[in-house]
Structure 1
Amino acid sequence: MESQTLSPTMVPPSVRKSTFLAVIWAGTAIGTLGLAFRLFVRVKYLHRLQFDDFLVSFAWMLLLGTALLWTVIINNFYEIANFLSGKAYLTATFPHSLEQYLHGSLAAWLMFYLVLWTIKINFLLFFRKLGDKVTNYYKIYWWAVLIFTLAAGIVCVGTIQYDCLAVTFEQSTASQGTCAGPKDIKFQDFALKFPAALDIITDALIISMPISMLWRVRMTIKRKLQLGGIFCLVILTIVVAIVRIAIVSSAAGSNANKQVEVTSHFIWHHIEASVAVLVACLASFRTLFAAKERERDAEQREQRERAGRPAGPKARVLWARAKYIQDSLFSTTPTVNGTTKLDSHTSDGMDYPLRSVNGNKSYDTEHTLNGQDQSLTTVPSHRGA
Structure 2
Amino acid sequence: MALSLSTNIAIVCAVFIALPIIAVVLRFWARAVRHSGLSADDYLILPGLLFSVALSINNIVAVALGNLGGHIHMDDAGNIVFDDTLTIFLQTEFATQLLSILSLVFTKLSIVVFYRRIFKGKTFSLISSVLLGAVAAWGVAFFFATLFECMPIPMVWKTLFGTPDHQAVCYNYLPMFWATAISNMVMDTAILAVPIPFVWRLHMPRRQKVAVSAIFLLGAFVVGISIARIYFFFLSSDSYANAMDITVNIAPTLYWTVIEAAVAVVSACLPTLRPLFTGISLDALQDFASKFSLRSGNKSSASFRSNQGTATSNSHSNNNKWHLSFPNHSASSSAKIVNRVEAVRSPSAEEALLELQDQPGGIIVSKAIHQQRSDA
TM-score, with structure 1 as normaliser: 0.63
Q: Which residue of 2 aligns with 1:213?
A: 198
Relative to structure 1, the CA distance from residue 76 to residue 372 in structure 2 (aligned partners, 3 Å threshold; closer, same or farther) is: same
1:235 is displaced (CA, Å) by 1.2
Alpha-carbon separation, structure 2, partners of 1:284 and 1:40: 10
Alpha-carbon separation, structure 1, partners of 2:12 and 2:357: 49
Q: Which residue of 2 aligns with 1:227?
A: 212
1:102-161 deviation per Cα after TM superposition (whole angstroms, max 9, x unaligned): 4332222111111111111111011111222x3x12211111121112112223224426
Residue 162 in structure 1 maps to residue 135 in structure 2? no
Residue 64 in structure 1 maps to residue 53 in structure 2? yes
In structure 2, give the amino acid aligned to 1:127.
Y
Q: Percent identity?
A: 19
Relative to structure 1, the CA distance from residue 203 to residue 168 in structure 2 (aligned partners, 3 Å threshold; closer, same or farther) is: closer
**Greater mean alpha carbon deviation, residues 159-168 or residues 110-119:** 159-168
Relative to structure 1, the CA distance from residue 292 to residue 179 in structure 2 (aligned partners, 3 Å threshold; closer, same or farther) is: farther
Aligned with residue 82 of structure 1, among 65, 72, 76: 72
Aligned residues of 2:67 and 2:85 also touching (Cα < 8 A): no
Alignment map for 1:233-248 (pairs within 5 Å): 233-248=218-233
1:176 is displaced (CA, Å) by 7.2
Q: Which residue of 1 aligns with 2:25?
A: 36
Aligned residues of 1:119 and 1:276 also touching (Cα < 8 A): yes
Relative to structure 1, the CA distance from residue 75 to residue 162 in structure 2 (aligned partners, 3 Å threshold; closer, same or farther) is: farther
> What secondary structure sits across from 2:146 in the alignment?
coil
1:158-202 deviation per Cα after TM superposition (whole angstroms, max 9, x unaligned): 4426344964479935997247669979x3431232111111121
Alpha-carbon separation, structure 2, partners of 1:257 and 1:148: 34
Q: Which residue of 1 aligns with 2:98?
A: 110
Alignment map for 1:1-385 (pairs within 5 Å): 16-46=5-35, 48-78=37-67, 82-83=72-73, 90=81, 94=83, 96-97=84-85, 99-132=87-120, 134=121, 136-160=122-146, 162-164=148-150, 167-168=153-154, 172-173=158-159, 177-178=163-164, 187-253=172-238, 257=242, 261-290=249-278, 350=345, 369-370=349-350
1:220 is displaced (CA, Å) by 0.9
In structure 2, give the amino acid aligned to 1:118.
F
Relative to structure 1, the CA distance from residue 378 to residue 41 in structure 2 (aligned partners, 3 Å threshold; closer, same or farther) is: closer
In structure 2, give the amino acid aligned to 1:196.
A
Relative to structure 1, the CA distance from residue 258 to residue 215 in structure 2 (aligned partners, 3 Å threshold; closer, same or farther) is: farther
Structure 1 stretches of at least 4 aligned residues deviating more than 6 Å after TM superposition? 84-89, 182-185, 372-379
In structure 1, give the amino acid aligned to 2:58.
L
**RMSD (Å), alpha carbons:** 4.2
Relative to structure 1, the CA distance from residue 190 to residue 182 in structure 2 (aligned partners, 3 Å threshold; closer, same or farther) is: farther
Aligned residues of 1:45 and 1:287 also touching (Cα < 8 A): yes
Aligned residues of 1:56 and 1:118 also touching (Cα < 8 A): yes
1:215 is displaced (CA, Å) by 1.4
Aligned residues of 1:164 and 1:175 also touching (Cα < 8 A): no
> What secondary structure sits across from 1:117 in the alignment?
helix
Alpha-carbon separation, structure 2, partners of 1:221 and 1:179: 62
1:242 is displaced (CA, Å) by 0.6
Relative to structure 1, the CA distance from residue 98 to residue 241 in structure 2 (aligned partners, 3 Å threshold; closer, same or farther) is: same
Relative to structure 1, the CA distance from residue 371 to residue 76 in structure 2 (aligned partners, 3 Å threshold; closer, same or farther) is: same
Relative to structure 1, the CA distance from residue 203 to residue 372 in structure 2 (aligned partners, 3 Å threshold; closer, same or farther) is: same
1:208 is displaced (CA, Å) by 2.5
**Greater mean alpha carbon deviation, residues 214-223 or residues 39-48:** 39-48
1:282 is displaced (CA, Å) by 2.0
Aligned residues of 1:192 and 1:245 also touching (Cα < 8 A): no
Aligned residues of 1:24 and 1:267 also touching (Cα < 8 A): yes
Alpha-carbon separation, structure 2, partners of 1:162 and 1:61: 23
Alpha-carbon separation, structure 2, partners of 1:131 and 1:179: 53
Q: Which runs of 5+ in 2 are unaligned?
A: 292-343, 360-376
Relative to structure 1, the CA distance from residue 23 to residue 289 in structure 2 (aligned partners, 3 Å threshold; closer, same or farther) is: closer
1:245 is displaced (CA, Å) by 0.6
Q: Which runs of 5+ in 1 are unaligned?
A: 1-14, 304-348, 352-365, 380-385
1:205 is displaced (CA, Å) by 1.8
Aligned residues of 1:119 and 1:277 also touching (Cα < 8 A): yes
Alpha-carbon separation, structure 2, partners of 1:378 and 1:44: 24
Relative to structure 1, the CA distance from residue 223 to residue 371 in structure 2 (aligned partners, 3 Å threshold; closer, same or farther) is: closer
Alpha-carbon separation, structure 1, partners of 2:173 and 2:15: 28
Relative to structure 1, the CA distance from residue 239 to residue 54 in structure 2 (aligned partners, 3 Å threshold; closer, same or farther) is: same
Aligned residues of 1:66 and 1:108 also touching (Cα < 8 A): yes
Alpha-carbon separation, structure 2, partners of 1:168 and 1:189: 18
1:218 is displaced (CA, Å) by 0.8
